[in-house]
Amino acid sequence: MSLLRVSNLKKYFAVKRSAGEILMRVPQKFVKAVDGVSFEINEGETFGLVGESGSGKTTTGRLVLRLIEPTEGTIEFDGVDITRLSNNEMRSFRRKMQVIFQDPMAALNPYMKIGDAVKHGLEIHNIGKSEQERRNMVLEMLEKVNLQPEIYSRYPHELSGGQRQRVVIARALILKPKFVVADEALAMLDVSVRSQLLKLLLDLKKEMNLTFLFITHDLATTKYICNKIGVMYLGKFVEIGTYNHIYKSPMHPYTKALISAIPEPDPDIMSSKKRFIPEGEVPNPINPPKGCRFHPRCPFSMSICGSVEPELVKMEDGRIIACHLYKSN
Binding residues for ligand SF4, rule: CB under 6 A, are: 253, 292, 294-295, 298, 300-302, 305, 310, 323-325
Say how many C-beta atoms besides its own lie within 10 A of residue 171's C-beta.
24
User: Whole-number minimum distance, CB 299 to ligand SF4, in Å?
Assistant: 8
User: Whole-number minimum distance, CB 272 to ligand SF4, in Å?
Assistant: 21
User: Whole-number minimum distance, CB 242 to ligand SF4, in Å?
Assistant: 20
Q: Nearer Cβ to ligand SF4, position 142 or 322?
A: 322
User: Whole-number minimum distance, CB 322 to ligand SF4, in Å?
Assistant: 7
Residue 14 near residue 26 (C-beta atoms within 8 A): no
Give, rounded to a whole angstrom, the gap between the first and last alpha carbons of the chain: 25
- Residues in contact with 40: Cβ distance below 8 Å, sequence separation at least 6, in sequence order: 2, 4, 5, 6
Going by C-alpha positions, the residue among 8, 139, 129 that lies closest to residue 75 is 8
Interior CA angle at 301 toward 296 and 306, to 5°? 60
User: Whole-number minimum distance, CB 85 to ligand SF4, in Å?
Assistant: 37
Q: Nearer Cβ to ligand SF4, position 258 or 292?
A: 292
Q: Nearer Cβ to ligand SF4, position 4 or 298?
A: 298
Q: Nearer Cβ to ligand SF4, position 93 or 294?
A: 294
DSSP string, 222-244: HHHH-SEEEEEETTEEEEEE-HI
User: Whole-number minimum distance, CB 260 to ligand SF4, in Å?
Assistant: 14
Q: Nearer Cβ to ligand SF4, position 171 or 295?
A: 295
Q: Nearer Cβ to ligand SF4, position 81 or 317?
A: 317
Q: Which helix (H) or strand (E) holds 138?
A: helix 131-144
Q: Which helix (H) or strand (E) holds 172?
A: helix 161-173
